[in-house]
Structure 1
Amino acid sequence: MLYGIVAAATALLLSALLTGVLRAPLLRLGIQDRRRRRPVPLSGGVAVGLVTGLVALAGDAAGVAPLGTGVGRLLAAGACVGALGLAVDVWRLRWWVPVAGTAVAAALVVPYGETGVPGGVLAAVWIVAVAAAFRGLDHADGLAGTVGTVTAFGVAACAAAELMDGIAVLLSVLAAALAGFLLHNWHPARAALGACGALFTGFLLASAAVFVRAGQGIGAGAGVLFAVTAVVCADAVLVVLARRLARWPLTRGRPDHLGHRLRRLGVAPRAVTVLLGVASLGGVLVGVGMHTGRVSGGAVLWVAAVAVVVVLALVRLPVTPVFRPRQRSSSASSQVTGQLRVRNG
């Protein structure tokens, strides 16, 4: 218990520090969020991944918080997924590359002995879907970090109830690292997660949740897994449904996520994060209650009903076709052209 508190505090401080330190180098390298109108480096993803891995491995090496069987492999697979996400941030790889890489990593970490082969395949598909959806959730300041922090604490509570101390400590460290990152990501953001941090976080959360629920029944397990990731799932379903109705390619970016639509309704940026963070907390409480037996299985139907109502209410809300970064004014462009002519002349 004491080590968990120390590890979480260390992760929070190191993540906040590293996110700030890496801002300037990544800006110079051009590794920044291309969807924004101002330069925001993707230093948060690197910081969260490095700090989570280093603090968890330090506890395992010291023997004070052993990760346990399979958890070390899960962390290694998450690191590979995060590295692949970093490659996406740097080189803008095709959409199927991170999906395929995440699928391979998920297939390698699923505990087939507890889930069985059919259940293991479904679990791997769900891990890939959550990781991809979590990347899509990184579209508003503070949103992915807030939802990730809440979800990590929820899955850690489920792990603690099963006496899976290694997973509980790992996710507590992840939650603290995300909280440290949030110090730079709260609106207006000075750093972002990027594909590196979003894929790493989504993969680790989904994989850990599968580990915790493995062998406890597919139906009840699916309900718990949905509840703890309700906001992520609702955002993904909203995007897929809206793009299908608009005949827009699923793999082409568009400002049509939950945060975008709430902003379209006039909700302030920080209020969007708080609102969806509270919604995530509600789903997590239901999921943890179901896992520990303190809430009936029917409670997940209420979570699903709220998610369906939100999706149907927002799906027809008009959105801009594509995001277009701010263009330079004609006077500024002519001034730059004149300067270039003088220099060349």
Structure 2
Amino acid sequence: MLYGIAAAATALLLSALLTAVLRAPALRLGILDRRRRRPLPLSGGAAVALVTGLVAAAGDAAGLAPLGTGVGRLLTAAAWVGALGLAVDVWRLRWWVPLAGTAVAAALVVPYGETGVAGGVLAAVWIVAVAAGFRGLDHADGLAGGVGTVTAFAVAACAAAELMDGVAVLLSVLAAALAGFLLHNWYPARAGLGAGGSLFTGFTVAAAAVFVRAGQEAGPGAGVLFALTAVVCADAVLVLLARRLARWPLTRRRPDHLGHRLRRLGIAPRAVAVLPGVAALGGVLVGVGVHTGRMSGGAVLWVAAAAVVAVLALVRVPVTPAFRARQRSSSESAQVTSQLRVRNG
């Protein structure tokens, strides 16, 4: 218990410090979030992944919080996913590259002995979906970091209830590292998470949740996993549904995520991070309550109903004016270029 508190405090301080230290190198190397109007260095992802791995590995090496064979493999796979995400931030790899790499890592960490082959395949697909969902959630200051902090603490609580100390310490360290990063990511952000940090966070949280629920009933287990990641799932469904209705390619970027639509409604930037964080807190409280037996499994249905209502309400909100302005400016530029060519022809 005391070591877990000390490890979390250490992770928070180191993450805050390392995020600040890595800002200048990220700026020089051009590792930036190019969706922003101003250069935003993606130093937070590397800081969160490095601090989480180093603090957890130090506890395991010292014998204070042994991770165990399965959890050690999980952390190694998460490091691979984080490195792959960093490569995406640096070289702008095609969309399917991180998806395929994450799928391979997920397939290697699922405990098939407890889930069975069919259950293990479904668990691997879910891990990939949550990792991709966290990457999609990283589109507004404080949003992915806030939701990730809440979710990681919740999975740590579920692990502690199962006496899985290695998983509990790992997720507590991750939550604290994300909290330290948030000191630089709160609006207006001075550092971003990027694909490296968001994929690492989503993969670690999802894989750890699978470890905690493995061997238990599939139905209630799926309900708990959904409740723990309700905001991430809602954002993913919102984007898929909106792009399907608009006949927009699923792999082509568009400002139609949860945060974009909340801003379109006139909600302040800081509130855009706070509201999903509060929603995530409500979901994880239900998830932890069902997991520990303090709530019935039917409570998950309330979370699902709230997510459905939110998706159906927000899918009607149009994309941001900035996106439409870019469309208009591109169209106008093309028309001007065409006219000039005709005149000069």
| TM interval, short-chain normalised | over 0.9
Segments of 5+ residues of structure 2 without an aligned counterpart are 330-345
Aligned runs of 1:233-272 on 2, under 5 Å? 233-272=233-272
**AA partner of residue 158 (structure 1):** C
Residues 16-62 of structure 1, C-alpha deviations (whole Å, 9 max, x = no match): 00000000111011100010000100000000000000000000000
Hey, what's the Cα distance between the residues in 2 that align with 1:323 and 1:114?
52
Residues 168-212 of structure 1, C-alpha deviations (whole Å, 9 max, x = no match): 000000000000000000000000000000000000000000000
Aligned runs of 1:20-99 on 2, under 5 Å? 20-99=20-99
Query: Does the 8 A contact of 1:33 with 1:192 survive in 2?
Result: yes
Identity %: 86
Query: Does the 8 A contact of 1:255 with 1:323 survive in 2?
Result: no
**AA partner of residue 260 (structure 1):** H
Hey, what's the Cα distance between the residues in 2 that align with 1:222 and 1:323?
42
Per the TM alignment, residue 284 of structure 1 is displaced from its structure 2 partner at its CA by 0.2
Q: CA 1:174/1:323 → structure 2, altered by over 3 Å: closer, same or farther? A: farther
**AA partner of residue 196 (structure 1):** G
Q: CA 1:322/1:194 → structure 2, altered by over 3 Å: closer, same or farther? A: farther
Q: Which residue of 2 aligns with 1:341?
A: none
**AA partner of residue 227 (structure 1):** A
Instruction: Provide the TM-score with structure 2 as the length reference.
Output: 0.93
Q: Which residue of 2 aligns with 1:175?
A: 175
Aligned residues: 326
Q: CA 1:67/1:322 → structure 2, altered by over 3 Å: closer, same or farther? A: farther
Per the TM alignment, residue 161 of structure 1 is displaced from its structure 2 partner at its CA by 0.3
Per the TM alignment, residue 69 of structure 1 is displaced from its structure 2 partner at its CA by 2.6
Q: Which residue of 2 aligns with 1:145?
A: 145
**AA partner of residue 277 (structure 2):** G
Query: Does the 8 A contact of 1:152 with 1:171 survive in 2?
Result: yes
Aligned runs of 1:1-345 on 2, under 5 Å? 1-320=1-320, 321=323, 324=326
Hey, what's the Cα distance between the residues in 1 that align with 2:204 and 2:314?
29
Residues 284-326 of structure 1, C-alpha deviations (whole Å, 9 max, x = no match): 000000000000000000000000000001102111457959x
Q: Secondary structure at the match of 1:70?
A: helix
Q: Secondary structure at the match of 2:283?
A: helix
Hey, what's the Cα distance between the residues in 1 that align with 2:187 and 2:107?
37
Per the TM alignment, residue 281 of structure 1 is displaced from its structure 2 partner at its CA by 0.2
Hey, what's the Cα distance between the residues in 1 that align with 2:204 and 2:73?
11
Hey, what's the Cα distance between the residues in 2 that align with 1:218 and 1:246?
35
Q: Secondary structure at the match of 2:93?
A: coil
Q: Secondary structure at the match of 1:190?
A: coil
Hey, what's the Cα distance between the residues in 2 that align with 1:101 and 1:272?
31
Hey, what's the Cα distance between the residues in 1 that align with 2:260 and 2:269?
9
Hey, what's the Cα distance between the residues in 1 that align with 2:27 and 2:325?
21
